[in-house]
Amino acid sequence: MDEQGRRMAEIRSNFSRSSGEYDRWIRKVIPRYDEMLDVLVSCVQCPEGRRLRVIDIGCGTGTLSAKLLASHPAVELTCLDMTEDMLDMARERLKGHECVRYLVHNLYDFEYDGPYDLIISSLALHHMVTDEDKRDQYDRIFRALAPGGYFFNADVVLASDDTMQELYMEKWAEFMYNGLPQEEVEGSVLPRYYKEDSPARLTDHLGWMRETGFIGVDVIWKYYNLTVYGGRKSLVD
Ligand SMILES: C[S@@+](CC[C@H](N)C(=O)[O-])C[C@H]1O[C@@H](n2cnc3c(N)ncnc32)[C@H](O)[C@@H]1O
């Protein structure tokens, strides 16, 4: 198994094991988690008289999808995740909503069955191992979008230099110490971050999106190492 396959297997197994605890845990680990997701959803505009075709990639337990459906119930939504136990939680959370389908799939070899009017994601793309993997995913996302379609991502990123990165890590640790025992932060959360997560600089993400062809690429929200950014595909080629 190559590095990417090994890493995905490890991520899947860890999320699988902790899926039942995830919703409580993530709010102790990610400052302003709900605010960040709410900001992303606030950017979504639904045309009248037509269902927006949406996919939430790396949907996990479905928090972002649930927020989207609460604001825009008339969407046709696909929830995709490679961890079946996480997707089961999403299924349970979203039951009763029409027009939602669930796909267990790894983004690395997912052939998007678009076109989609909107592609959204939260805290998932930083798991893509290399910069090349992230660029490739932007390319796939771009091709899957309908003309005029949008992509928004809420995620963890790196600072532009080491000094800023140190500040971000300090602020992040400060937040976690408020909600979790020190042993858990230092013995579990931070080692898992260094082992499983591959965040990139926000400035790189924005550049890759522009190179891919996205227009209107912008940062919508930022709090230290957490951010919401996005862009859209032009209406004309
Ligand atoms: C930190 S959780 C985020 C879940 C949810 N989006 C949220 O905001 O709470 C990351 C999720 O991304 C999924 N994931 C990571 N890499 C993936 C990949 N290559 N393909 C599909 N899902 C992936 C994991 O299985 C996990 O459910």
Q: Hey, what domains does the chain have and what are their CATH numbers?
A: 3-232 (3.40.50.150)
- Does residue 103 line the site of ligand 1, with CB under 6 A? no
- For residues 226 and 141, the answer to whether their CB atoms sit within 8 Å is no
Ligand 1 center–CA 81 separation, angstroms: 6
Binning pLDDT at 50, 70 and 90, where does residue 17 land?
Answer: very high
Mean pLDDT, residues 169-188 taken together: 96
Over residues 64-105, the pLDDT tens digits come to: 999 999 999 999 999 999 999 999 999 999 999 989 999 999
Task: Write down the residue that tokens 């939430």 correspond to.
Answer: 56
Ligand 1 center–CA 124 separation, angstroms: 4
Asked whether the predicted pLDDT for residue 3 surpasses 90, the reply is no
Tokens of 203: 């400035």
Tokens of 139: 């390319």
- Please report the pLDDT score of residue 84 as a whole number: 98
- Residue whose CA lies nearest to ligand 1 atom number 13: 58
Mean pLDDT, residues 166-177 taken together: 97
Closest ligand 1 atom to the C-alpha of 23?
Answer: 9
- Residue whose CA lies nearest to ligand 1 atom number 27: 60
> Is the backbone peptide bond immediately before 191 cis, with ω within 30 degrees of 0?
no
Over residues 26-36, the pLDDT tens digits come to: 999 999 999 99
Please state the φ and ψ torsions of residue 65, each to the nearest 5 degrees. -60, -40
- Please report the pLDDT score of residue 98 as a whole number: 87
Q: Give 139's contacts (C-beta < 8 A, 6+ positions apart).
A: 212
**Arithmetic mean of pLDDT over the chain:** 96
- Nearest alpha-carbon partner for 106 in 195, 11, 18, 189: 11
Binning pLDDT at 50, 70 and 90, where does residue 39 land?
Answer: very high
How far apart are alpha carbons 8 and 196 in whole angstroms? Answer: 9
Asked whether the predicted pLDDT for residue 47 surpasses 90, the reply is no
- Please report the pLDDT score of residue 211 as a whole number: 98
- For residues 49 and 72, the answer to whether their CB atoms sit within 8 Å is no
Please report how many Cα atoms fall inside a 13 Å half-sphere around the Cα of residue 4, on the Cβ side.
12
Ligand 1 center–CA 215 separation, angstroms: 26
- Does residue 108 line the site of ligand 1, with CB under 6 A? yes
- Please report the pLDDT score of residue 114 as a whole number: 85
- Does residue 157 line the site of ligand 1, with CB under 6 A? no
Asked whether the predicted pLDDT for residue 200 surpasses 80, the reply is yes
Binning pLDDT at 50, 70 and 90, where does residue 236 land?
Answer: confident
Ligand 1 center–CA 232 separation, angstroms: 22
- For residues 121 and 57, the answer to whether their CB atoms sit within 8 Å is yes
